[in-house]
Amino acid sequence: MAVSFNFRTFLALFRPELYTPYELALRDMAHRNYEQAMGRLDAILADPQTAAPERAAAANKRGVALVELERKDEARAAFEQALEIVPKFAPALVNIGNLHLEAGETDEAIKYYESAVRSDEDYALAHHNLGVAYKRLGRTGDSVRELRKAHRLEGRVVRKQRK
């Protein structure tokens, strides 16, 4: 499963301020403490005060932790939960696509990646994974186009963070 790097999230791991429960879960995941991370994410999901976008992100990250624990059926359910909370949530669409790609279901993976791109045109990981899937089908031109787009978007994110 492809992993994206978020510089702000990385830096948050080292700041002296108190961490949010979500940041603590990300830190747990970075240290491969997936069960502990899932406990924190479950608490976020159970809190009625948590806004929908944060709940969708928590469900999605819970799915990522489950993938790492090789519990893919449960992971898919977590990704689908994220989509129930925020329909067309691009990270969850990409992660379901990843499950299909890993299972050798490239056409199905492409459907999810294309849906993620339609949902968030600026989500670099969706373009990258779509490019990888196109390459597997021998669609070299489409693959190069998507990989270049992902590269441009990743560069744009880095430049924005430096400002």
pLDDT digits (tens, 9 = 90+) for 39-68: 999 999 999 999 999 999 999 999 999 999
Residue 155's pLDDT is 82
Q: What is the mean pLDDT of the chain?
A: 91
CATH 3.40.50.300 is right for the domain spanning 88-163: no
The pTM of this model reads 0.83
- Among 157, 161, 137, smallest CA distance to 149 is for 157
Give percent of the chain above pLDDT 70: 85
Q: Where are the chain's structural domains?
A: 1-86, 88-163
Out of 3.40.50, 1.10.10, 1.25.40, 1.10.20, the CATH code matching 1-86 is: 1.25.40
Rg (CA), the chain: 16
- What average pLDDT does range 32-38 have in this prediction? 97
